[in-house]
Structure 1
């Protein structure tokens, strides 16, 4: 059994991503994960990450929904179990559409029936029970807008209601024409005329078109003229969530995942520093390290004074950027690289603007890891002052930074 107290947060994150998140994958790829089970599994992961448990209460510094975002969006890349469950179940809907001769598909089709076109079964509408396919079929709704069709014979693709011509169904692109269509459920092959006189699209409307509708009809015809029915070929389903057109669990998961932060310095994960240092920089970027200000916000009655300078309020940005003692490290760094630099107002903005193209290739790695080393050095020194009651030594602070760098 892992001993949490001996593993850094960076190490715990690695174990969660490699082990704890992977353990329920087989179950989630077949069954819908009950909400209580999912919440329990997420609690185990949260407690392991932040060091808490049944017998101790450690603060969870960042909300779990943010932790579960990918690193480019400001998260830690931990898989959200609900989204992962949906993506894994969605794989079966994709396989059902393309594996025409598979035995398992024949069994499912025989039990539930197949919709016209043969891309999926009918919706399982029974009130009771938690059948395996019942849960899988529900997840097709999340996939529908990302399923398009490559027309071959046109016998399995709806002319108006399926996505085969552009990014949306024709019934949404041209709703007024759809309203007067004589065959709203027509297949593509039924609207395509290939008699001896030539090939052409022949949609039929319920009334004579008005003069003001001619321009719209012209746009409509120009849009579908780029496509042809090839009766010797089969219709195929295309997954628009990936550039290859082939479904993948990863692409569906990315679609289910919310956007997150528009700008985040995810380069901290590429810097050549230990995982625990990168994790600390991630916490600092969100302003969530446990400074005295953060402790006050969490309800602790404490005097708020920076442990380093003993004069200012201890906020994240003050401690790591603007404290006079910390500025000594920044000035040392800039003198080592021979640059003039103005620090931003926050840790996040500082890291976002930390570009090292001007320092040269040989020193770029050191430049990228330098701010993270300063953050870690200052935090360790601050904790020595807070808990070990040691006196501040600027010489020791600089020496520690140079050694870490």
Structure 2
């Protein structure tokens, strides 16, 4: 797997199976309302699920193989590599051969070895301005005073040792870090709960408004308050049923409820608000647990015709906090 270029058709098929399995648990079943793959494959700190794009992994593994051939000491690497002054990229991104102007004639043979050019750490006199700059740069390199083996260092790790992970991190497309990821992935949550919270923040739940965008037109009504059309914004941020749960939770921390333009906006506010709180763990975990219980209550009401009061759902949130071993002794819950 680490020594050849993976066929594009194979990569596409495997990533299709990965997408289907994430959303349905079956590689052959497609789900209509999902988060775009471009968001899924990003690291969690950048708003994704931490899944790596297969082509990037393929390139990182090939880079490791190339590094081992170039800088390894095995018989195979000795057979394949040829380290020469003119063709090695030891002064930057380009070799001397690639940087040298066509009219420069210092090297008649670019297979010239370093030992031939350097004699007792003294460079020869040359008229070429380019080669003078090369020699000046080489002389500025600090060499160790003790007897150690000269080796190439990988600049993307602090140890100088090549790793596939560091190569992947350089290859992949970088994105800004999101402020809310610790609410989802560092809040003592079960994986199912964390994944659900991630979907809500990304606005991808099968609510009536999103189902309508897929061409399915059905009568829409909030199952909790039965007072408006259903949307993610209404269920979690406008519904009177949900508002009572949010306010009861915030009351335990002495925090007042503010209106928010979206669940993402609420997540950013929630993360910022925890800085001034003594009981940070229950506050952080409570964000997703409230969302999760509101959604479960919505499904019970819509599909099971079972309805609990907001106060009872709030007790379920407290029970979930205790199940993940969060200490509630500091709170008035």
The TM tier, using the shorter chain, reads: 0.7 to 0.9
1:52-201 to structure 2, matched below 5 A, reads 53=26, 56-59=29-32, 61-100=34-73, 102-106=74-78, 109=80, 114=81, 116-117=82-83, 156-158=84-86, 162-164=89-91, 168-169=93-94, 181-183=104-106, 199=122
What is the rounded CA distance, in whole Å, between the counterparts of 2:185 and 2:95 in structure 1?
45
State the Cα deviation string for residues 68-103 of structure 1 (Å, max 9, x = none): 222112111223222222222222211112223x23
**Deviating runs (4+, > 4 A) in structure 1?**
52-57, 167-171, 177-182, 184-195, 199-203, 220-225, 228-235
Evaluate the alpha carbon distance shift between residue 237 and residue 329 of structure 1 in structure 2; reply closer, same or farther with a 3 A threshold.
Answer: same
Pick the aligned partner of 2:292 from 359, 369, 376: 376
Q: Is the 8 A contact 1:66 1:74 kept in 2?
A: yes
CA–CA distance in structure 2, aligned partners of residues 36 and 55 of structure 1: 16
Separation in structure 2 between the aligned mates of residue 55 and residue 180 of structure 1, nearest angstrom: 61
Q: Summarize the Cα distance change of 1:347–1:308 in structure 2 as closer, same or farther, 3 Å threshold.
A: same
Matched-pair contact (CA < 8 Å) for 2:123–2:135 = no
- The equivalent of 1:46 in structure 2 is 19
Q: Considering only aligned residues, what root-mean-square deviation do their CA atoms show, in Å?
A: 3.6
Aligned 8 A contact 1:50 1:59 in 2: no
Give 1:200 deviation, angstroms.
Answer: 6.2
Q: Which residue of 1 aligns with 2:161?
A: 246
Matches of 1:81 and 1:252 in 2, distance apart?
13
- In the alignment, the residues of structure 2 paired with residue 243 and residue 253 of structure 1 have an alpha-carbon distance, to the nearest angstrom, of 16
Deviations 1:256-299 (A, max 9, x none): 22113542522111111211111001011111111111111222
| Contact 1:284 1:347 (C-alpha < 8 Å) held by counterparts | yes
Cα drift, residue 331 of structure 1: 0.9
CA distance in 2, matches of 1:344, 1:227: 57
Matched residue, 2:330: none
Structure 1 residues 203 and 311: CA distance shift in structure 2, 3 A? farther
Deviation (angstroms), 1:321: 2.5
Aligned positions of 1:207-218 closer than 5 A: none
| Offset of residue 249 of structure 1 | 0.8
Counterpart-to-counterpart distance in 2, 1:332 and 1:192: 77
| Equivalent residue, structure 2, for 1:227 | 141
Aligned: 1:397 with 2:313: yes
Equivalent pair of 1:66/1:260 in contact (CA under 8 Å): no
Aligned residues: 313
SS at match of 2:153: strand
Q: Which runs of 5+ in 1 are unaligned?
A: 1-27, 118-155, 208-216
> How many Å separate the matches in 2 of 1:291 and 1:335?
29
CA drift of 1:191 comes to 6.8
TM-score by length of 1: 0.66
